[in-house]
Amino acid sequence: MYRESWVVQTKLTPPFLHKRTLHRSRVTKRLLETLEYRLAIVQAGAGYGKTTALAALAEGAPPLVWYHLGPDDTDSLVFLAHLVHGFLFALPDMSRDVLALLEEWEKSSRERPWAPIVDALTNELAQRNDGPWLLVLDDIHRLNDAPEPLRALDWFIGRCPADLH
């Protein structure tokens, strides 16, 4: 069963950028160009500064929803709980109706129990007029062997409002 205590708030917060962090304005500018696209992938080897470059976006506009994935996020319920709470963390005035659907998860016998949750989150975001928004899924490769969270994410990307990137 879903419990809010499963949600680790530090996974939903961009990493702290030390004052000695090298700010690369050209990279930040390129990343902001992703607002022209629905989806952008930042890919490079370990240690190239992907997370640091994306975290620098949190210091400016547009608003950013951050989710750092770990090994436990391969569970669909854990994944969706963090995704929903990431938006709630960034949008404190957002409706809590999606949380009620997370609580109903265990009782569901549907083939895709995550679909109503994703649809409710999508509808909630579509009703807002305060975009554009950036959603950063840091270390998304953790879901490579997790078909259900990937299906839920694909469902979300296919339905999310045009001002979410």
Q: What is the pLDDT of residues 43-90, one digit of tens each?
A: 888 888 888 888 888 877 788 899 999 999 998 889 999 999 999 988
> Quick check: 131 pLDDT over 80?
no
H or E stretch at 45: none
Instruction: Extract the tokens encoding 31.
Output: 């990343």
Tokens 């305060």 belong to: 130
Query: Which ranges in 105-146 belong to alpha helices (H)?
Result: 115-126
Pairing of strands 134-138, 64-68: parallel
Tokens 């950036």 belong to: 134
Give me the torsion for CA of 129, 14, 12, 69, rounded to 10°.
Answer: 120
Q: How many CA atoms lie within 13 A of 115 on its CB side?
A: 6
Tokens 């669909």 belong to: 76
Listed range (52-61, 87-96, 144-153) with the worst mean pLDDT: 52-61
Question: 111 or 154: which carries more pLDDT confidence?
Answer: 154
Is-contact 161 126, C-beta < 8 A? Answer: yes
Tokens 């930040």 belong to: 28
Q: Report pLDDT for 95.
A: 87
Reported as a pLDDT band with limits 50, 70 and 90, residue 157 is very high
Percent of the chain with pLDDT over 90: 38
Which DSSP symbol is given to 57? G
Neighbouring CB atoms inside 10 A of 8's CB total 16
List phi, psi (to 5°) of 73.
-80, 5
Give CA angle at 165 (129, 77), nearest 5°.
95
Average pLDDT over residues 146-159: 94
Is-contact 150 112, C-beta < 8 A? Answer: no
